[in-house]
Amino acid sequence: MNQLSKKNNDGSIAVGFIILGIGVILLLRKLGFFIPGWVLSWPMILIAIGVFTLIKHEFRSFFGAVMLFLGSYFLLRNEFGFDFGLGQYIWPIGLIVLGIYLITQKRREKQVLDDIRQNWQSKNSKTSFGSSSVEDAKVVDENGNTSSTSSNDSSFSGSGFTRTTGTSFHDRLNIDAIFSGVNRKFMSKNFQGGKITAAFGGADLDLTQVDFNGVITIQVDIIFGGVKLFVPPHWDIRTEVTNIAAGLEDKRFFREGGVDTSKVVVLKGTILFGGLEIKSF
């Protein structure tokens, strides 16, 4: 329960300080104090978003780094005349950086999955020592049909799999909707959270069939995109998401019995000019 005792920072306090600061600056200008014009320019908004996101995520946010770079570049170019000769290269460089990030992120996640697989196989070999077989695992597909497969099958060695129909048996979310759309239905009974990134794209994720106990975290980063999460109505959803010109709505139909405090989902991340909807069937 220590994870639940952390300060619930949904970004509203920081946004309040930003608005307060803007108001103070405008007041000082009206009173005749000299305030440089670039302080209230639009690149400063990107810089503020980048700095805030980096601080919140302990300087490990790709989104925050990109916002800080773009804001600094346009501020120096528009207000101080420093172009650095990057004007014609800014978009190609941006695409290259994005591609490198996605490649390295996939490799990092693959390494994590490999470590999980090795640990799982190690534990499984210890528990099955001296026996001729291991109990078969039951898999339920999207039509409700059951089939069995040996737990020694490599396709079930910790990482899960995704059918061509969009049904996924992965235990962790790993969704990247970059200039595209993603539609997934998850069936894991050992759900562990994960991450969702939507940039100029969207994702519809059905989590109504997954199960877990305790506290899980889902990192959600949305910029000019949208994400819909379909979850059971009794989950305890807690948000620590920063909304900037964006929307976050919980549209679930709550039923009798209230929320189940043994199933807590903590949403973290940043939504910029986008939206996140939480729904239930």
Lowest-confidence segment of 37-41, 54-58, 141-145, 175-179 by average pLDDT: 141-145
Instruction: Say how far residue 83 (Cα) sits from the centre of its chain.
Output: 33
Q: Are 160 and 188 in contact (CB under 8 A)?
A: yes
* Three-state secondary-structure class, residue 227: strand
pLDDT of residue 7: 44
pLDDT of residue 158: 43
Q: Are 115 and 152 in contact (CB under 8 A)?
A: no
More confident residue, 102 or 231: 231
* Three-state secondary-structure class, residue 101: helix
pLDDT band at 105 (very low <50, low <70, confident <90, very high): low
Distance CA 90, CA 169 (A): 39
pLDDT tens string 251-281:
887 766 678 889 999 998 888 888 999 998 7
Q: Are 193 and 216 in contact (CB under 8 A)?
A: yes
C-alpha closest to that of 64 among 245, 272, 266? 272
Could you tell me which residues come within 8 angstroms of residue 22 by beta carbon, excluding any fewer than 6 positions away? 40
Distance CA 154, CA 50 (A): 42
More confident residue, 108 or 188: 188
Query: In the 8-state DSSP scheme, what is residue 109?
Result: H
Distance CA 97, CA 8 (A): 32
pLDDT band at 67 (very low <50, low <70, confident <90, very high): confident
pLDDT at 104 over 90: no
**CA angle, corner 193, sides to 104 and 66, nearest 5?**
40
Distance CA 249, CA 244 (A): 14
Question: If you count them, how many residues does the chain have?
Answer: 281
* Three-state secondary-structure class, residue 165: coil
Distance CA 192, CA 216 (A): 6
**CA angle, corner 184, sides to 182 and 187, nearest 5?**
165
